Amino acid sequence: MGRPSRRAATAALETHIAVLKGEPLKAALATALREAEGLGGQERRFVAMAARELSRHQRLLDLAARQLGHSPGKHVLTEDQALVRYTLWRRLFCGESWARIGPEVKLPGPVRPRTLHDAVLEGLVTKPLAEPPPAEGPESVVERLATRYSFPGWLTQRLSQVYPEGTLAGLMASLDEEPSLHFRARPPGTRDAVLAALAEEGVAAEAVPCAPDALRVADASHRIFESKTMKARRLQVQDVGSQLIVLACLPPGATLAGLAVADVCAGAGGKTLGLADLVGAKGKVLAGDRSKRRLADARDRVREFGLKQVAFPHPVPLDAVDVVLVDAPCSGTGSLAREPDQKWKLSAKAIAEFQATQSTLLAEVAAQVKPGARIVYATCSVLPEENDAVVEGFLQKHPGFALEPVGEEWAPELQVGVDGPYLRALPPRVPGGGFFAARLVRKAG
């Protein structure tokens, strides 16, 4: 988790305060780290971890604060609320005493203004905490899971209607953890050689069986980023589910080599890179995105990896490609481990708005593709409103398209994410975030 210090605590608290004031966690963290002076690598890791943890465990930390007489509603200042959460997180999740926590939070810092005296914060660490009474009644399961994994009640309620309790508990636990780093070996089919090269450099890594090129590092040293293998562009950071979505673009029993593929919601280009490796030097990947900022990131990554087969035309000529990947804007409920602040910003209304946007986007793409072309619709959501319902609603309105099962052509050991005709990568069975994909084919004529 890195090395805690007073300066690291300051940066973590400043990040959380910015989040409480409405700024996205990623942006707030980037700003805090950029403005922090003299932080070492281990301190920076601690800042990033602590900032995510304060959002990730928000509900549980606030429950403990209420039991100790410091309900969030009583705090006059946002800085006070952040200090209480940080102090309790260090106590409850790090197991630290006041002797260790005190130097990180005592006056005159780490943040001002504040109304809390040091004695108040010390009491948060030293006073006993009673076990909350067990929830009773028909809502007990939802309440218990929502509290244990710090999820909004309405979202837990909705998930409980979709997944049985055992599956739901595993899913919520995975989305409540600091995510592991997963990588994709490049070019495709060279994972064993990449693992051997890493082993020669002293970097312990292992294969992830859910995807043919996926691997993870077995230690937390982050030496892999300084390895010759990484610098030679033999590795790309990419979630396992994201890798599976790229594989879903493969035509059954065939390859993408030499074909033209469009990535219309390319974002920062993670899946664009994977598609480029599959189409090869003789193929073409046409990438676009409504966000110019994110597309600029994709251009930089493509340039960094030296991929000449990727272009960024505007608009993307969808009638000239064989496969279109629609990685649609979504709630990100499958990515809450990486962006835990998002679960407190979501609402049922927002989910309905995402569904409308997804349906419109899918229909717009469908109107442009040629007969025989495939559309791969994908999200990083675990909610059926954004997944199955969008696909089924599309098929009802577009009889010229057929649902083509995903994954039938994959090796048996890769079947863990396949659910009927869909790819449904759910943690912890598939490590990493939660992803969905469906493959649609435009019928001839």
Would you please indicate which residues are annotated as catalytic (active-site) residues? 380
Rounded CA gap, 382 and 174, in Å?
13
Rounded CA gap, 88 and 101, in Å?
10
Q: Alpha-carbon torsion 189, 421, 256, 436, what sign?
A: negative
Nearest-10 Cα torsion for 282, 280, 391, 334: -150
Number of Cβ within 10 Å of residue 313's Cβ equals: 11
> What are the residues whose beta carbons fall under 8 Å from the beta carbon of 41, sequence distance 6 or more?
none
State yes or no: 419 annotated in a binding site: no
Burial of 153 per CB tally in 10 Å (0-12, 13-18, 19+): middle
Number of Cβ within 10 Å of residue 403's Cβ equals: 16
For 189, phi then psi, to 5°, come to 85, 10
Rounded CA gap, 373 and 351, in Å?
29
Rounded CA gap, 204 and 221, in Å?
10
State yes or no: 289 annotated in a binding site: yes
Q: What is the DSSP string of 199-256?
A: HHTT--EEE-TTSTTEEEESSSS-GGGGSHHHHTT-EEE--HHHHHHHHTTSPTT---
Rounded CA gap, 238 and 234, in Å?
13
The residue count for the chain? 445
In the annotated binding site for S-adenosyl-L-methionine, the residues are 289, 327
